[in-house]
Chains A and B, each alone.
Chain A
Amino acid sequence: SQKIEQNSEALNIQEGKTATLTCNYTNYSPAYLQWYRQDPGRGPVFLLLIRENEKEKRKERLKVTFDTTLKQSLFHITASQPADSATYLCALGGYGQNFVFGPGTRLSVLP
């Protein structure tokens, strides 16, 4: 069955550093990969979308890479701030396949 893993349940980093979150998948052929941010008690908020034929996407301090050979996406937040502390979810979608979310990584940026 399809499986999505995100590198760890929780990640702590120091303010100003780059946070790197990982999303790995098996038994899935995604056409698109999305990243969302979720704050406690709130609905997820869309951040970035990358297509299977794109290697990298950037938006302000955010960068996403997508390697379909490795079946992996990396999500980077540069110059991280305490306000970036949240849970980050990756999600996969593809033709003929249900849209699926990963379990999430809880990021804490320490001042």
Chain B
Amino acid sequence: EAQVTQNPRYLITVTGKKLTVTCSQNMNHEYMSWYRQDPGLGLRQIYYSMNVEVTDKGDVPEGYKVSRKEKRNFPLILESPSPNQTSLYFCASSLFGQGWYNEQFFGPGTRLTVL
């Protein structure tokens, strides 16, 4: 089944404790992206990657890191999480390009709480 998977689905952590949220897709997509979704603010793009070893900032990259060493994986790293990073996170992928001239496939989401 074609899908985007994220792990973990739920995470409660404390301020400053480094964490990684994994994202993997099995559709051989070139483009991958991370979003956060907050009430009243909608979905905001954190980082995106147009291909292996190519990443770029979205609208809200502060406090996050990403890497794209393999085509299928695009982990999101929070080196020192803070409470304002409490949010619902989505990973997405699309066939190629910048994600806006192809449909994006979204993962199930990761709900992160930083205490």
Contact = CB atoms under 8 A, between A and B. Distances in A.
A99 B40 contact: no
A89 B43 contact: yes
A31 interface: yes
Contacts of A43: 4, 90, 92, 106-109
B12 interface: no
Given A42-B109, A43-B90, A43-B106, A92 B42 contact: no
Interface of A: 31-32, 34, 41-46, 49, 51, 89, 91-94, 98-104
Interface residues of B, number: 26
B101 A101 contact: no
A42 B90 CA distance: 9
Given A42-B109, A93-B100, 19 more contacts: A32-B101, A34-B100, A34-B104, A43-B106, A49-B101, A49-B102, A91-B100, A92-B100, A93-B98, A93-B101, A99-B33, A99-B48, A99-B58, A99-B99, A100-B59, A101-B43, A101-B44, A102-B42, A103-B40
B45 interface: yes
B59 A98 contact: yes
B103 A49 contact: yes
Contacts of B41: 103
A103 B44 CA distance: 10
